[in-house]
Every structure is written in C-alpha cells, then in structure tokens.
Chains A and B, each alone.
Chain A
Amino acid sequence: MEFEKIYIDIASKDSKVAKRFASVFPLDKIAYVSHPPLQRNQKTGALSAEEFDRSKRNIFITEFKGQFFKRCPGTHQKMACCNYFVLNLGLQCNMNCSYCYLQSFINTPVMTIYSNLDQALNELDQMTSEFKGLSFRVGTGEVIDSLSLDPLTLYSHDLIHFFKTRPNLTLEFKTKSDLVDQFLACDHAGNVIVSWSINPQKIITAEEHLTASLSARLTAAQKCLQKKFKISFHIDPVIWHPEWKDSYSDLVDQITQNFTPEDIPYISLGALRFQTEQRWIMKERFQLTSYVNQAELFEGPDKKLRYDQNLRNMMFQFIINRFKIKNPKWNIFLCMETPETWLATFDSMPKKVSGLEDLFATRKSI
C-alpha cells in the first residue's frame, strides 16, 4: 500500500515515531498539522467504501487521549473467551482483508498511529501493580496489525524491552505480514509471542489482499522460533469454500510438517463472522462473487453474521481432527465462539479442555 500523506500532529512532532516517519518519507509527503486531518462531519455516518479505502492511504501520527488497555472484544457474556487484553498502538490497517471488522468499526478518515507508547506502558505498569501476582496476556493486533508497519514505527523494540523486565506479562504480536527481521535481534525474556493469523493460500489470494503469502508467514514464524520467540497461529477466520476440506487439510499439513506442538503452545480457530451492517461495505469494496460476499450467513446470538452452527462445528472438528491425527498434543481452542459450539466441538467448555485450563482461567478480580 502506498501512502499518500503522513500527517504529524504538531504536539507529537518530537516523538520517536514521528521523527522516524519524517526521516523515512520524502518531505512532500509529510504535513505537520494542529488538528486531525481530512475531518468529516460525524453526522455523515459510517465511512463510505471510498473513504475507507482512502483512510488506509493516509497516516496521522498523534497522541492517544483515552485509556490504552481494553479487554478483548470477545469478552461478551454469550461467548466463551480467553482473558486477553488489548493494547491499541493505532487504528486502521495497511492491508486489505475483505472480511475485516474494521469496516464496521472505524469512522475516522485516516490511519492513526499513536505517538505516546510510553503512556501505554505506564498504564500497564499501574495495572500490573494493582493486580500483583496475576499474569496478563497483552495483544497489540486488535485494531491495527502488530507488525505490518513495525519496520517504520519500531514499536516492537520498545515493547520487547519493556516486557523483558516483567516476566509475569506476556506480549502477543498478531500479524498477517512477514515483517519480523527488525526485532529478531532484540533481547527478550521468552514472554513474547509472535502470532500469525493464517489461512490456506487460496483464501489469502481471494480475501486477504496485500498480506504476506502463507509460505512467507510460515517462514517468518520459523525465523522467530529460531530466535526463541514463542509463536502461535490463529486459523481465523475459517472460510467455507467448495474445496474447504482440501484447503484446510493442506494448511494443517504445512503447519505440522514445519512445526511441532512444542513449538506452538496454542492454535486458535475461529469462523467467519462480522457485524450485520458490515456486509454492504464489503460488497461495495470487494468482488460480489468472493467467498465472503457469497457466504451463507445467519445472525448469531451476538448479532454477528455467522455460518450455520452445524457447519462451524463441522469445519472446526475437521481441522482439529486433522491436527490430532498428526499429533494428539496439539492444543487448539476456539476464538469468539458460543458455548454450544464449544460443546459440539470439544464436548466440553474451554476451562475443562485439557491443555487450555490456564489460558481460560478466570481473572476474577479484574
């Protein structure tokens, strides 16, 4: 993705990240601004398809003025979820997945990168001192890819350095890129997980535009493993297509041929899901005949569109069985799924599935 303009909030111009962008991009692409750029009347509603596309091509570096730490949006009373905290380092993504939930989430006309990472880390320190003894998993890839802009921001360096002295915390980068070289040399405490959202190459080609290929993602994972970073895979969203069994078998085979269950503590599975209102912008922005736009979806208990529950169970069971046939030690859990699907897939709730107890342990005091 080529950026049209880098807007730097004057208040952030002395931040490390702003200085890096200013040194990397030509002068004519940089603009120092005292107000958010490309502002639009909020009453005009959600971004149109064109506005959303444009927002990916314009970066705004500014301070985040709210609370950095939020619980993972999977924490919905009707979903079984895995105690995960989200640290937003920005908003919007420079890749372009057809199913991306940001399409119904974002109403700002630019991609934002927050310049005050130090404040986020202070918040994290406060939170951990308040809940001493508890372990936290902190992910940075919820509303922006953790690594696709990291060669520019180098936030991975600051984060890995911070987590190095806090072994009760776990940092998780989540990405669809293969951009890991910039932090491989960083010294770490073994509490950094680099995770990839992965799918069969057929789905990547059709639905995950501007992302790294499957083989590039797996190669990047190997590089991280060699440097003793923990790695993880999220097979999410699983997308039905006529040859889904072949595609997902092949994906599982590629993982199991290149990695062992010891290399990868957990693999998560999730099926295609998005807010009902998102489907029109998806259709406006992508091929009407894409797998995602032609999917047979129904409204689930969380008001998101999902595949029929039977189909989800079937796809999950198929993928899990394929892993377990290769090696029963693979730990696999479901992401943002209903208790019914957990029961149908594992015959048990997550806290009782062998290997997942710790991951889903309730943090009662938080």
Chain B
Amino acid sequence: MDLQLPYIKTFKTRPQICFKNIIICNSDLDLNLTIELSQLNETLAELYSPASMLETFTWINFFQSQNVELNLQEFSAAFGFFWNEAAAQLYAAHLAWPDSFKNWVLQKKAHINDLRPLILVSRLPEREKNQVLQLLNVIGSLNPSLSQGKQLLEAFIDVASTEQNFEPLESLILDLRTQNKNLESSLKKLLKLKNPVTSKLDGQKQNFVNKSNWPTAVKVKFQRQGDKAGFEVSTFVTTAAQCESLLAKIEESFKSIALHLKENNDYGI
C-alpha cells in the first residue's frame, strides 16, 4: 500500500477519477472523470467512507500537499471521522511517524483514543522524542496486536516522560530490535521503570516471602492484583496430624513475614 497516494481502490462499476492528473480511484471501466473541488468531500465519501483515522489523515495530507484548502471538520465528517483538537494534534504528530508504524496503525484501524499518548511526544525532550520514534519502528516491525501495541506505547511514553530513564529505554529498544521479541517481558520491564518504588518494594517482599521457611507441602505465590500486592498460600492436607504440623510451621513463616512487612515499607520520608 502506497501511503503517499492513499489506498487507491479499483472499482468495477465506476469511472476512473483523477485529481490534478493524479489517480484517486481506479476503474475497470474505460471512463475518466475529474473531481470538482466543490464536490471533493462528497466524491471521496462516496468512494471511501467510512475511513479509519490514518486513512483520513493520509487523504488530508495528500490534498494539503496539493494546496487544496480543506475544511477539516467537514472533510473528516464525510469519511465518518470526527475532527477535534486531539485529532489535529495527532495529525501533526503522525507526519513524523515511520511508514512501518503507519502501516500498523492502518492495519489495526487504530483510533484517536488508542494513540492519544502520542500527542505528548511533541513535549518530550529531543532525545526521548527520538526514542519514541524508534519504538514506533519496532512496533511496526513486530506487528503486535492493537491492545499489546497500545500497552507498550502507553508504558513507554509514561516512562520517557520522567526524563530519567533514557539508558534503560535505549537498552529496551535494542533488546526488542535484536533479541527479545517477547513484548510481555518488555512491558514488565517498562512497568518496573514506571513504578520504581512500588516495584522495588514488591521485589523485596517477593524475595522475603519466597525465602521464608515454608513446609514442602505448601505452595506460595507472590502476586500483584491491581492496587494490592500479596501472596497466596495453598496446600493440600489429608490428615489431622498434617494439619497440626503445617499450621505450626506456617504460623512461624507468617510471623516473620508480618515483621518484615512492618519494617520494610519504605515509601520515603
């Protein structure tokens, strides 16, 4: 798909349509028509509506490059796309997106709300801005699902906006490019960078819980569930003697964990 001349379709029942000698839609019919500027919106809407966000952006970019003055609200509305200030900001941002990412956006039919974090990129320092553009390239080449791509973008821009994580983000991008194609592990790394204090405390708790002296019949799993982090203890018991023995041992572990939790909640002073 050529993004410079947006998604030209070939119609079997309509004439070929040109704008300033540039083909807007192809036809199997041996007929040629030229778009009247006054009918631009209607004609394109007839051919292409509904269009996704990126398709609309691409048409706008194309006509603006042809020096056509567009009423963006009316033009977008003709495509079934509603222009607002967020759209305007995202449109400005999209001009810098690499083609691979644009293809991903097009393919996933991403909407403004999916890509809203990208509005912030213009406010980032130059080096962080470049990092985001590199990430967009990575997303374009790894082709994740829309949901995964959104999560990655949001977390990355969150972390980039702290302006304190340049190097970890560099290595994350390098990792994604060269070795680790697993987005899940990258997301986990990003969440650690985004929530450094909580992640550190979670890690400490997890270590302590795992190293505690649990009976062999007991399974312990530390986990974060939204705004809570804790550990799940499970076991399978068949006799009263087992119950009594396990209870005594578990009680010891719980006591030492409780003490640890009381003494190690350092959210700063």
Contacts and interface: CB of A to CB of B under 8 A. Distances in A.
Interface of A: 40-41, 43-45, 48-51, 240, 242-246, 277, 280, 283-284, 288-289, 293-294, 296-301, 306-312, 314, 340
20 contacts: A44-B83, A45-B82, A48-B84, A48-B89, A49-B85, A49-B86, A50-B85, A242-B268, A246-B269, A277-B113, A288-B161, A288-B162, A289-B163, A293-B161, A296-B198, A298-B226, A301-B226, A307-B227, A308-B198, A310-B201
B267 interface: yes
A300 B229 CA distance: 12
A45 B113 CA distance: 9
A311 B197 CA distance: 10
Contacts of B86: 45, 48-49
Interface of B: 77, 82-86, 89, 112-113, 116-117, 119-120, 123-124, 161-163, 194-198, 201, 224, 226-229, 265, 267-269
Nearest to B266: A314
A311 B265 CA distance: 8
A246 B85 CA distance: 41
B227 A309 contact: yes
B120 A284 contact: yes
A299 B226 contact: yes
Contacts of A310: 201, 229, 265
Contacts of B89: 48
B85 A48 contact: yes
B84 A44 contact: yes
A289 B161 contact: yes
A29 B227 CA distance: 47
Contacts of A293: 161
The 6 closest A-B pairs by CB, nearest first: A48-B85, A296-B195, A288-B161, A298-B227, A44-B82, A44-B84
A298 B224 contact: yes
Contacts of A243: 268-269
A301 B195 CA distance: 19
Given A48-B86, A48-B89, A311-B265, 13 more contacts: A48-B85, A49-B85, A49-B86, A245-B269, A280-B117, A280-B119, A283-B161, A288-B161, A296-B196, A298-B195, A300-B226, A310-B229, A340-B228
A45 B224 CA distance: 33
Contacts of B162: 288-289, 294
Nearest to A242: B268
Nearest to A295: B195
Contacts of B226: 298-301
Given A48-B86, A51-B84, A283-B161, A308 B268 contact: no
A299 B227 contact: yes
B82 A309 contact: no
Contact of A244 (B77, B116, B229, B268): B268
Contact of B82 (A41, A50, A51, A307): A41
Contacts of A51: 84-85
A297 B82 CA distance: 32
A293 B117 CA distance: 13
Contacts of A294: 162
B267 A311 contact: yes
A296 B197 contact: yes
B206 to A, nearest CB: 14
B227 A308 contact: yes
Given A284-B119, A306-B227, A240 B161 contact: no
Contacts of B194: 296
A278 to B, nearest CB: 11
Residue among B77, B84, B196, B265 with max Cβ neighbours from chain A (10 Å): B84
B267 A314 contact: yes
A313 B124 CA distance: 34
A41 B195 CA distance: 38
B112 A45 contact: yes
Contacts of A240: 267-268
Nearest to A308: B198
Contacts of B84: 40, 44-45, 48, 51
Contacts of B82: 41, 43-45
Contacts of A284: 119-120
A288 B122 CA distance: 12
A340 B230 CA distance: 13
Contacts of B201: 308, 310
Nearest to A300: B227
A5 to B, nearest CB: 19
Contacts of A49: 85-86
B115 to A, nearest CB: 10
Contacts of B120: 280, 283-284, 288
A309 B161 contact: no
